Amino acid sequence: MLKPVKILLVEDDEIASEIIYEFLQDCSFDVTPVFTATDSVSYLRTQNFDLVLLDINLPDFDGYEVLKSIKYHVSLPIIITSAYNDTKSKLLAFKYGASDYMVKPLDLEELEARIWVQLGKHGSIEMQEEKGIFELKNSAIFFKNSRLDLTTTEFEILSLLMKHKNQVVSRDELVSALSSISSKRSLDNHIKNIRKKIGDNGNKATILKTEYGVGYALYT
């Protein structure tokens, strides 16, 4: 058994924190909720986490200051959660080291998908579910023991499908979860390229299959 993924949830709204906490716990994450910037820094100095969910509006310090402090001391994926939807706020977050940015109110299923994408990109975990045909390790995906030469977007798509293997993931979910994809047509082209790299013929695909009218599924 692998240890559960540990997430530090920094959210000062107690109701929002409880909703996110319960959802992520149901997804089998080990979530530690804190409500202030001071507590977040304290926990990060004394415990190990795999990912941080960080609200910008905190009662004691600005969330951007927390972001800079975290990135200075540890290398972790950090997803910003904020009510601010303006370009300036987003650019500032990425300037200070944010891995992703989500605007409130949060779509919790999208949040889970983005968490798995970030964990895969940072090599924070080796997902037990993918042992066998596909394996995720050291920020790379291996297929039948050979490392796949993937673009960043292809890596993100395949990581997400691996997490939900043998399940259909809708095209809308994939486009929504992956900020590098601008349209369903773009997604379809990336899927086609991934199939070529794993030798899975498009019309006769048996591994990365199209479920017409719904989305895609990775069967292993």
Any idea which of 12-16, 47-51, 189-193, 205-209 has the lowest mean pLDDT?
Answer: 205-209
State the pLDDT at residue 132. 46
Banded model confidence at residue 82, pLDDT cuts 50, 70, 90: very high
- Beta strands across the sheet bearing 140-143: 134-137, 140-143, 146-147
> What tens digit of pLDDT does each residue of 140-197 get?
898 887 889 999 899 989 988 988 888 889 988 898 888 788 888 899 999 999 999 9
Helix 63-73 to helix 37-46 angle (10° resolution) is 10
Q: How far apart are CA 63 and CA 68, in angstroms?
A: 9
pLDDT of res. 20? 96
Q: Residue 130: is its pLDDT beyond 70?
A: no
pTM as predicted: 0.60
Average pLDDT, the chain: 85
Kindly state the percentage of the chain with pLDDT values over 70: 90
Query: Does the pLDDT at position 210 exceed 50?
Result: yes
